[in-house]
Structure 1
Amino acid sequence: MTFQTIEDLDHQITRIDTGMMRDELAACYLIQGADEFAVIDTGTNRTVPVILGLLEQRGIDRSQVRYVIPTHVHLDHAGGVGGLMQALPEATLLIHPRGARHMIDPSKLKDGVLAVYGEKTFAEVYEDIIPVPEARVRTLDDGAEIQLGDRRLLFLDTPGHARHHFCIHDARSSGIFTGDTFGLCYPPLATEKGPFIFPTTTPVQFDPEPLKRSIRRLLALEPERVYLTHYGMVENPQSLGKRLLTVVDDFVALAEAVEEQAAPDQMEDALTAAMKDYLFRGLREHGCHLDDDRLMTLIGMDIRLNSQGLMVWLQQRSAG
């Protein structure tokens, strides 16, 4: 470990805390193959100086960074892409075909965040979203492979969280960079029973059946570890993946029950309360002894976003 936000993992992979909102909320990764490097996910534009500082500290010339690879275009994963690409003259942006247009012209992404959070919060959290010249963007289809120096990266189309999401399998580490497909697993929630993992169903493209297929596809590769954006490396993912599949079904059942029981104008509050109860109960059964206020600090945002995403999914399903 070189300083607080950086952790060197095995297999020439470094985890970088993006510094978004709090420690251990979101990570991105620097991966090395021979004398070439790639950055997988970027955090927000505020993360760019941290990444550049790491390169400088380690004597890595910016021209050695060959690829910038956001798993999808949600801003906690891709908000820093444009700023990082400006600073890395030899890098190519590798992105899912459905996400490329939002990196070339991020105005809709920005407008969406401004509409929800307002200018003050946008500036504090994201700072800005900078477009990437189209000539520096390369889209990758399902099953595409690229060479990073002496290591091979395989790209897998993994919808369910978002339709513009891919995961990256790295044979050298027997690991997969999973973005949001393999859920959330915050270190403070781990107990002697192991990590506590749960899906992210944030708006607006959550779809349970594609998500479960994507999780099963990742498990079929028999990885030894996964590199989560939220948060860090987790080993022995088979049992965690099975739990994720169960919890996706539980979330769907929870949403359907609320839809049946709550008045339309009370559904979001009812779903948020039910989501909180479900996750808190699961944490207590997992042996977590953190008090309720601490748990809300750690997962309160996810409770709200998951509930909103399930609401959107129910509405889209009803619309048909």
Structure 2
Amino acid sequence: MDLGRGISIIDAMDLGKERRTGCYVLHAEELTIVETCASPSIPFLLEGFKRLGIDPKEIKNIIVTHIHLDHAGGVGLLLESCPNAKVIVHPRGMRHLADPSKLILGARAVYGEKFDELFDPILPVPDNRLVVKEDGDTLQIGENRILTFIDTPGHAKHHFSIHDSMSNGIFTGDTIGVFYPQLFVKGLELYLPSTSPNQFDPNAMLDSLEKIKALDVERIYFGHYGMTTNPSHVYEQIYKWLPIFMETGEKVWKEKQDDSIETKSEGLFQELFVKVSSFLTEKEFTLDQEMTEIIKLDLSVGSMGIIDYLAKKQTK
């Protein structure tokens, strides 16, 4: 899909679902993409490049906002088709792309027996093809196109967002939430915070939101999924939902203080799903099966992250 201002999005068909995770193509002198999704998505990206008339050998920069596998798990595999590309990554993420063993262990702990289906294979990225960008660093990819990298923790410590000068837009990965275009086409904008384990920090997330807000961008490009030209509404919803998520998490933690982490996470998931469902009902929206599955997945993984954060907080 052409998003205008020299940017296209390719649907990576993450989890076998449309409009779940996207790869952005920046059409510039230095052809650049943002996000690769997981390895099972790479055939869809290659088909997308073909439809755009792009030879993968032309790609110069592959940027990953952070190293979670649904955003960067396929980068090693994609590099096999992109011999002239460098991979640009947050300083905290570089070593994990070079040696993904810890990423694999962490993802197996979360996804269990579904891991291979969702993520395999995860290939290391050679050191000589990795480029680190620090907070405030820039990359000029065209005569009138400069990318600026901004450290934006909260969802993860290894997360940056990328401001694009030509579109005055920002690629935010998961820092300021998930966008549900399936609802948007039906007239409802919903943005929920992405609180997955194991580096979620609500205070850092709000600080990063403030950084992004201060840039006065016109567009936000989400990892999940697509673009909005209504940034103020995004900020409003994260300000609304993040406290609800945290207050509900603290309530569940207190009520189930003697239960296991797994039981606490499941209890929080159930309560958050009721709250989000009630919100949608108030807006006269009924979730179909696909959207129910997507939102349940997000809230389930997000509940694990909130409980993990509260558990760490207890030990401090």
TM over 0.5: yes
Q: What is the identity, as a one-letter code, of the residue corresponding to 1:267? A: K
After the TM superposition, which of the residue ranges 209-218 and 244-253 deviates more from structure 2? 244-253
**Contact 2:11–2:45 (CA<8 Å) still a contact in 1?**
no
Structure 1 residue 288 corresponds to structure 2 residue 282: no
In 1, Cα distance between equivalents of 2:290 and 2:31: 37
Deviation at 1:112, TM superposition (A): 2.4
Amino acid aligned to 1:306: G
> What are the equivalent positions in structure 2 for 1:215-234 lying under 5 Å apart?
215-234=209-228
1:15 to 2:9 alignment = yes
Verify: 1:180 aligned to 2:177, yes or no.
no
**Counterpart residue type for residue 213 of structure 2:** L
Distance in 2 between the 1:192 and 1:46 partners?
29
Q: Which residue of 1 aligns with 2:136?
A: 143
> Structure 1 stretches of 5 or more lacking a match?
1-6
Match of 2:147 in 1: 153
| Residues 90-105 of structure 1: pairs in structure 2 closer than 5 A | 90-105=84-99
**Equivalent of 2:273, from 267, 271, 276?**
276
**Distance in 2 between the 1:264 and 1:194 partners?**
39
Residue aligned with 1:94, SS: strand
2:75 is the counterpart of 1:81: yes
Aligned to 1:246: 240
* Cα contact 1:215–1:245 (8 A) shared by 2: no
Q: Note if contact 1:223-1:237 (Cα within 8 Å) is conserved in structure 2.
A: yes
Cα deviation, residue 182, structure 1: 1.7
Q: Which residue of 1 aligns with 2:314?
A: 318
- Structure 1 residue 191: Cα displacement: 7.0
Residue 122 of structure 1: aligned partner: 115
| Structure-2 separation of matches of 1:226 and 1:300 | 24
Alpha-carbon distance in 2 for matches of 1:217, 1:40: 20
Q: Distance in 2 between matches of 1:286 and 1:179?
A: 27
Q: Is the 8 A contact 1:191 1:287 kept in 2?
A: no
- Secondary structure (helix, strand or coil) at the match of 1:200 reads coil
TM-score of the pair, normalised by structure 1: 0.92
* Residues in 2 aligned to 1:160 and 1:252: alpha-carbon distance in whole angstroms: 13
1:44 is matched with which residue? 38
1:146-187 deviation digits (Å, cap 9, x = unpaired): 011221001000000000000000111111111001201111
Alignment of 1:202-213 (within 5 A): 202-213=196-207
State the AA in 2 paired with 1:30.
Answer: V
- Give the Cα separation in 2 of the matches to 1:177 and 1:194: 22
Q: Which amino acid in structure 2 is aligned with residue 317 of structure 1?
A: K
RMSD, matched Cα: 1.7
Alignment gaps of 5+ in structure 2 = none
Aligned partner of 1:124: which letter? E
Q: Which of 13, 23, 38 is matched with 1:28 structurally?
A: 23
Asked if 2 retains the 8 angstrom alpha-carbon contact of 1:196 and 1:283, the reply is no
CA deviation profile, 1:298-319 (whole Å, cap 9, x unmatched) = 3111111111111100001011
Determine the structure 2 residue equivalent to 1:107: 101
Q: How far apart in 2 are the matches of 1:16 and 1:294?
A: 20
Letter in 1 for 2:167: S
Aligned-partner residue type, residue 242 of structure 2: V
Q: How many residues align?
A: 311
Identity %: 38
Q: CA separation of 1:116/1:211 partners in 2, compared to 1, >3 Å: closer, same or farther?
A: closer
SS at match of 1:173: coil
CA distance in 2, matches of 1:191, 1:57: 24
TM value normalised by structure 2: 0.93
Distance 1:225 1:159 in 2: 20
2:31 match: secondary structure: strand
Per-residue displacement from partner, 1:188-224 (whole Å, max 9, x unpaired)? Answer: 2237764111101001111011100101111111111
